[in-house]
Structure 1
Amino acid sequence: MSKPIRVIITGTTGMVGEGVMHQCLQNPAVEAVLIINRKSSGYSHPKLKEIVHADFYNLLPVEDELVGYNACYFCLGISSVGVSKDDYYKTTYLLTMVVAQTLAALNPDMTFCYVSGAGTDSKEKGTGWAAVKGKTENDLMKLPFKQVFAFRPGFIKPIKGLTKTHNFYKYINWLFPVGRKLFPAGFITLQELAAAMVQVTLQGYNKQVIAGKDIITLSKSV
């Protein structure tokens, strides 16, 4: 029998992180959820613990609270639109690596799931967002975790009723059933993403880069 999942989730003040947290709190395979935010999320649940910590580039003051977890679902990220290349690199690559390196040292039995994106360039060509994401994926996979997976979703359908959904989804959600029918690999639900993360944590997978089609397949296995 697989060990219960004790997971650290980042980015829960955003749509993806909030949705993954919501699903994990409902999943019986998940025993405990720790979220780390710069400000309080306002969430309360018997499984949930929250650390409010302003500086993600220095986790030393909270390291003792990060021990004893066997999964991390890293959902923290920013869009490259309207952001300088330096700021995007700092947030997307440097911040991610600081968190991951800390967790790898504290919890070597951890499965690390990184939310990347469709179109990421594993060859790291150029200086655009796709190359930065590719470098982040590649360097995460060199860390001494038990497992590392890079999830590359395309369009993600949000979970109805949650509070962090971007306003523009009100106008584009109609695309989902059409896109799912015509190009199913590019259109997933947030429930499927969370379920796939739980599944790879429990059972592993034969690929480290998890595309949309894999996410759907994994979610059905839970």
Structure 2
Amino acid sequence: MDTGMKAIIFGATGMVGQGVLRECLRDPAVTEVLAIGRTPTGVDHPKLREITDPDVAQLMARFGSADDSGADLSGYDACFFCLGVSSVGQSEEAYRRTTHDLTLTAARTLSAANPNLTFVYVSGQGTDSTEKGRSMWARVKGETENHLLALPMSTYLFRPGYIQPLHGITSKTPLYRALYAVARPLYPLIRRLAPHHVTTTEQLGRAMINVATTGAPLRHLDTRHINAVARGL
């Protein structure tokens, strides 16, 4: 008997993560959601459970340990990894710790505990799969993608461009909030002129659920493919 999908969301308080969490809680096919992050989501829902730790290093240690917290991460069908930081003002070493090391630690632990796991990683438009480009963030993201693909799980890499937040969702970064406030009235025009380069937090959430449910023909999904999968195409 089908018992529904159990999903883990990393970074559910960020702009993308908020959208994914909303869609998971609204979808009757998703029966359980575990949100893992630095701070509580502030959402009260019978399907939602949370694990929080304000220190990234401690969070990584917990994921990599074999204590009871590891057992809490078993029995899941999908992981939607939306946790990320801006590279602005960071050294490559610091950016790598959060972007690459934390992601791989979590992915390795989850794939070991869940043999049939589907892992969806939010990367970004312009990610450098060759790992040789001049852009630091693109190289680190590319290395992260490549290492995820080598793990024994079904991995899908989302590379969205412009993401429009909907349903009252906002970015945690003040600069981004200001930019989105300016761009909001222009979104209908942007969507009409460049439909394959813009998506929404709702479409991202729907696409992740659909990928975890039925898969997708590609492992790397740009904005055009994300929107198509969100529509069930």
- How does the TM-score come out when normalised to structure 2? 0.89
Structure 1 vs Structure 2 CA RMSD: 1.7
Task: Choose which of 56, 59, 66 in structure 2 pairs with 1:56.
Answer: 59
1:118 aligns with 2:109: no
Which amino acid counterpart does residue 108 of structure 1 have in structure 2?
Answer: P
Task: Choose which of 159, 162, 166 in structure 2 pairs with 1:159.
Answer: 166
**Which ranges of 4 or more aligned residues in structure 1 deviate by more than 4 Å?**
163-166
Residue matched to 1:108: 115
Structure 1 gaps of 5+ residues are none
Q: Percent identity?
A: 44
Residue matched to 1:133: 141
What is the total number of aligned residue pairs between the two structures? 221
Which amino acid counterpart does residue 165 of structure 2 have in structure 1?
Answer: P
Whole-angstrom distance in 1 between the partners of 2:164 and 2:39: 26
Whole-angstrom distance in 1 between the partners of 2:90 and 2:2: 42
**Which runs of structure 2 are paired with 1:163-178 in the superposition (5 Å)?**
164=171, 166-168=176-178, 169-178=180-189
Shift of 1:197: 0.7
Secondary structure, counterpart of 1:89 in structure 2: helix
**Which runs of structure 2 are paired with 1:143-222 in the superposition (5 Å)?**
143-145=151-153, 147-162=154-169, 164=171, 166-168=176-178, 169-221=180-232
Secondary structure, counterpart of 1:167 in structure 2: helix
Secondary structure, counterpart of 2:76 in structure 1: coil
Whole-angstrom distance in 2 between the partners of 1:114 and 1:206: 16
Whole-angstrom distance in 2 between the partners of 1:141 and 1:2: 28
Shift of 1:164: 4.6
Note closer, same or farther for the CA distance 1:196–1:3 as it changes in structure 2 (3 Å cut).
farther
- How does the TM-score come out when normalised to structure 1? 0.94
